[in-house]
Amino acid sequence: MAEEFDKAVEDGLRLSKRLYFGKDRAVAPPKPLPSMMKPGTHSYLPTAPMVYAVIYDPAIVDNPDIPSYQPHVHGRSDHPALIPLHMHGIELEVDCYLDTAFVRVVGSWRLHCVMGSKSCSCRVVIPMGDQGSILGVEVEVSRKSYRTQLVKLEDDKDTEKSSSTYGGFLKPHIFTMTVPQVDGGSILSISMSWSQKLVYNDGQFTLNVPFTFPDYVTPVVKKISKKEKIELNVNAGTGTEVLCQAVSHPLKQVRRNAGKMGFLYESEIYSWSTTDVSFSYSVSSSSIHGTVFLQSPLVHEADQREMFCVYLFPGNQQSRKVFRKDIVFVVDISGSMRGKPIDDTRNALSDALSKLDPEDSFSIIAFNGEIFLFSTSMEAATTEAIERATEWMTMNFIAGGGTNILLPLNKALEMLSNPRGSTPIIFLVTDGAVEDERQICDIVNNHVAEMGSKCPRIYTFGIGSFCNHHFLRMLALISRGQYDAAYDAGKYLVEARLQKLFTRASSLLLSNVTFDALDSLGEVEVFPTRIPDLSSEDPLVVFGRYQGKFPNSCKAKGVLAGLNSFVIDLKIHNAKDVPLNKIFAKEQIDQLTARAWFTENKELEDKISKMSIQTGVVSEYTRMIVLETIGKKIQDGLQQVPKKSLPPKKAAAEKQKVIPMPSLCIGFGNLTATAENVPPGCEEAKLPEVAEMFVKAASSCCGNIFRHCCCMCCIQCCSRMNDQCAIVLAQICTALAIFGCLECCSLCCADNE
């Protein structure tokens, strides 16, 4: 899809050369990129919120104000061209809380490239930052308004046959939505919002919001006012001093309190921002410290239990001792890993091995349908052993065969069954799904129950969309490990995220973490259920709900790398200005979804869908739709999301048109694609509807062929046919014989009627 998008924008820029803007011009017409640029670099993928005209008929391309009287263009295209629309104004508002940022963009774009008497669809494209999650989009144009809304899957029965042309994900971090039938010359006022994570590194939090606009979205007419506004609010939640480290735009500080900062930039400009909005800050502390936030639920929340959040910072002291590691790398080398996935995995593992300390130990298990061992026991991480391991990976990381995760995982658990003063770690990398995933989780769960805190931490990493990411997350949650993924197997993504996850696993400062206040609560639900270890690469965040009174004090306890005990008092704050339910909504939904998959609990699925609709975070049990309303204006930007979802039938009763969107979630793995070794990123070709009916009909008994036909009738009929009819009938019968049933004929005809 990304390649098709890139080509469509290139065609659109070529078409836009037809536009004539008169003598009052501010910039030159858009210039295509140099022909020497390597193909496949996706140079036209958006690096900021953009809107495109979807052009099937090139003849409608013209300036709606000044006709250019270009020669008529004949013909239509099956694959549309995308012309970037001119942007007339943009406002960015970012609210940072703890490790999460909520981003809201309000802008206006003009359909400057379509005749005033014609119309076309417009595509809104939104690139998001790290681990971005779309929350909502609202559009106002020509007395029509459009807004996204989440509905429960049961309420979405009538909209199951949705098309990707209405929107979806262009890439895992790029959301798209189509606005139908926009008249040439119209102004689209759009408000969009999403959440994303702040990147933590070396004691600093860094925000990065895509905000790099190409020059061809700048209006060419000089008289048009162009206003750019950026508002940034930071609430670190610690109550300690927050230090600004770096900023990309000329932001002016407008307020500063303990743990809080506010910045503003607003200006009339000649050209739009050419850099992403980047902001880094640090929380001043060299040692481990933390805070407990308490908050009461909002009135309209379904869950009326009290909320708490424990936030534990590793500090920024560089000389701290980390745990010695016994680590087993379990790597998928099935046929679907062929090419870039397995090359990137090998490179990341080579880099990880080079960073092990001499007192660490390691081994490598490669698996497909069987297992291949680097060594039958743990090897000390000497220079000579690492060189041998690198050579072994070069010889043995050859993609081929099926996928069996249980066999290598059992072997890794066996190799780490006797830890001695170290942190045992299993690092699992796969791109496929298997049938016995729940059995694997049960085995690991039993292993944890037997070994307790000495059980290996399992760090899981999924590549592409065919593996069951909820299984991998559940495996990590059970074992106090962590999970990450590269949904897009594109350039550098797999290698970079793998390296980051390994760095997190190899930098453990505090193990077996507990919080004594939670033990005194009568009823408490904690996310994650088993608290992971504290790493120098990330703060430790524990969220939950409880009933009763929270104690007046809370201590964090654990074991340091030197195996001595650690205790620290945590400050308790009533978090009136930190929206805990919003901050942890996505992580809570993800963990609950993994639990619902594992337990197959329908009540839990219903709980997730309600939480998803209330918070606006997409889940496996909800579907996003677009509601079109005629004659309704959007006041003051983004409208408030209703408390309850509006089912499609009720929307129709209120004269709202429901536009279905495809599923925005990753699903629960694809066993068929895994069995067929389909590489990550290759979408399965769906059968057309007629073929689907044939396959469905063919599932019945082949004996029906003879029940519905008479031999004598067939002979008499065939004797009266000419040669061409006989050939056609023979071809049809051959095709039907392949599928095994003639009932599909009646099904197909009935459907067409």
Contact 644, 156 (CB under 8 A): no
CATH of domain 1-283: 2.60.40
Per-residue model confidence (pLDDT) at position 704 = 42
The predicted pLDDT at position 575 comes to: 86
157-166, 497-506, 627-636, range with greatest mean pLDDT: 497-506
Share of the chain above pLDDT 90, in %: 64
The answer to whether 670 and 429 are in contact (CB under 8 A) is: no
Residue 18: other Cβ atoms inside 10 A: 17
**Structure confidence at residue 562 as a pLDDT band (50, 70, 90):** confident
- For tokens 């048109």, name the residue: 657
93-119 as b/e: b if 16+ CB within 10 A: bbbbbbbbbbbbbbbbbbbbbbbeebb
Per domain, the residue ranges of the chain are: 1-283, 286-578+670-702
Give the list of residues 6+ apart from residue 483 with CB closer than 8 angstroms, or none.
459, 460, 461, 462, 469, 472, 473, 475, 476, 477
Least confidently predicted of 36-50, 453-467, 493-507, 666-680 = 36-50
Give the separation between CA 605 and CA 595, rounded to whole angstroms.
9
The DSSP secondary-structure symbol of 742 reads: S
Q: What is the pLDDT of residue 161?
A: 53
- Which CATH class for the 286-578+670-702 domain? alpha beta
Q: How does pLDDT run across 374-391, given as a tens digit for each residue?
A: 999 999 999 999 999 999
Contact 533, 511 (CB under 8 A): yes
Task: Mean pLDDT check: name the lowest of 22-26, 499-503, 531-535, 643-647.
Answer: 643-647
- Closest-CA residue to 517 (of 293, 334, 355, 682): 293
Judge if 1-283 and 286-578+670-702 fold alike in CATH terms. no
- Tokens standing for residue 418: 């006797």
What are the tens digits of pLDDT across the range 492-517? 689 999 999 999 999 999 999 999 99
What is the Cα–Cα distance from 444 to 495, expressed in whole angstroms?
27
Closest CA to 52 of 23, 76, 84, 91: 84
CA distance 96 to 661: 29
Q: Are 46 and 174 in contact (CB under 8 A)?
A: yes
Contact 677, 649 (CB under 8 A): no
Q: At residue 695, does pLDDT exceed 80?
A: no
For residue range 218-243, list pLDDT tens digits in order: 988 767 778 999 999 999 876 677 88
* Residues 653-663, mean pLDDT to the nearest whole number: 78
Contact 638, 138 (CB under 8 A): yes
SS3 for 20-47, per residue?
CCCCCCCCCCCCCCCCCCCCCCCCCCCC
Higher pLDDT, 656 or 387: 387
| Opening angle at CA 63, ends 62 and 68, nearest 5 | 70
Q: What's the whole-model pTM score?
A: 0.85
Q: Which amino acid belongs to residue 264?
A: L
The chain-wide mean pLDDT, for the chain, equals: 84
Mean pLDDT of 421-434: 93
Distance CA 43, CA 29 (A): 18
Residue 661 pLDDT > 70? yes
Average pLDDT over residues 667-689: 76
Sign of torsion, CA 63 67 70 73?
positive
Q: What is the mean pLDDT of residues 555-565?
A: 92
- Coil, strand, or helix at residue 641? coil
Given this model, what pLDDT does residue 320 score?
Answer: 75
Does the pLDDT value for residue 98 go beyond 60? Answer: yes
In percent, how much of the chain has pLDDT > 70? 80
Interval 603-626: pLDDT, tens: 999 999 999 999 999 999 999 999
> How sure is the predictor about 79, in pLDDT bands with cuts at 50, 70 and 90?
confident
